[in-house]
Structure formats: structure tokens, C-alpha cells
Amino acid sequence: MKSFYKKELKSFFVPVLLTLIALLGFFIVYFKNNPALAINILAEFSEKIQSMSKSGSLNYFMLIMNNVIVGVIAVILGFIPFFYLSFILIITNAFVSGAVLSVFENLIKIILFGILPHGIFELPALALSVSCGLYLCNKITMRLLKKSDERISTSIYKVTSFFVLIILPMFILAGFIEIYLTPYIMKTFLLSWLICTVLGRVKYFQEVIKWK
């Protein structure tokens, strides 16, 4: 798996991940300037979240399945030659995520404490899924154009093995962190930040009063 990534998948993965991050930043800025559109998208996103929830909290199994299905779709799109359709999922994911993140006031803190803990596994897993789709599309295209001697079945085996052994565990780990650890991290660090902010304001006003 390591040699497959280094020799064949890395050339897809790095550009895909960087594009995902760049598009996410672009859409956050875009929706910051178009809040009404962001709210409409957030309303649709909330309905999807409710379908994955149970008693007001996210359902772990449904969350994992949703992420895995997205990853599988990215790979399946790779079976369509010439068009590299898997890349569409990078755009749609960045679009929706950008809309959701744009509504938060303390964006940096939300990213650090609410997104980063599970995002360090989920975003690369998504990028790897898309990379597998692009790799598969490229191999099938090259085979059809008779520019490659590698059997399509060999490429499918490599992608399937990599998805099961690497990408799937990453999605599972990301889901576990998002459901069970992220809420605790958000509560702990954001509460600490709020306390520090309040104490800082109190100290500031004490200094002002003392100066007067």
C-alpha cells in the first residue's frame, strides 16, 4: 500500500488535497459576502444532519456510512473514462462546507476545535478517495487509448485494496472523533476561551478605572 501511494497515487493526492483546501477557503469568503445563500444551504444541510441523528445527537453508524458512501462514489466515478468526474466531489464538498463554516463568528476557533480534530483524518480520506477515482479514470483512459499495458483489473485491485485498508479506517476514525471527542474538545476549549476573554475584559476595565 505504501509503494502504491508513493509511486502512483501521490501525484493525484497532493494536488487534490491542496485544491480542496483552497476551494474551501474561497467558498468561506464567498458565503461570508453572501450570507442569505449560505443560510439556505445550511437549512438543507440541517435536514440531512437530522436524518443522521438520533435523539438530537449524531448517529455514529449513519455518519460513517455517509462518509464512506461519498468515498465509494468518488471511486465509482473513476470507472467513467476521459472526464475525471471524481473531482466534482471536491468542489461540492468544499461548496457545502464553506457555506456551513461561513455562518460562524469565531471561525478560527471553530476550525481549530470543531473541525481540525476529525478533519485531519476526514479531509485526507476524502482527498484519497477522489485521488483513487482520478487514478482509476486515468488508467482506464490510457488503456482505451492503448497508451498503457496495465490490465484494468490490476488497477481496480490496487484501488480496492487501498480503499479498504487505508481510506475506510480513516473514515471510521474521523467519525469516532467527530461524534465522541469533538463535542468535548469544543466544550472544553471554547469555554476556556470564553473565561479568558471575560477575565481579560475585567482586567482591562480595572486598569482603566485605576488609570482614571
Distance CA 147, CA 45 (A): 43
Q: Which is higher by pLDDT, 131 or 105?
A: 131
* Lowest pLDDT segment from 20-34, 50-64, 144-158, 180-194: 50-64
Residue where the block lists cell 469555554: 191
Distance CA 186, CA 154 (A): 44
For 147-167, what is the mean pLDDT?
Answer: 94
Distance CA 15, CA 177 (A): 26
Res. 206: pLDDT tops 60: no
Distance CA 156, CA 90 (A): 21
Res. 105: pLDDT tops 80: no
Q: What per-residue confidence (pLDDT) applies to 192?
A: 57
Going by pLDDT thresholds of 50, 70 and 90, the confidence category of residue 125 is very high
- Distant-in-sequence, close-in-space partners of 162: CB < 8 Å, separation ≥ 6: 1, 4, 5, 9, 128, 132
- 24-49 per-position pLDDT tens digit: 999 999 999 998 898 888 877 766 66
Res. 122: pLDDT tops 70: yes
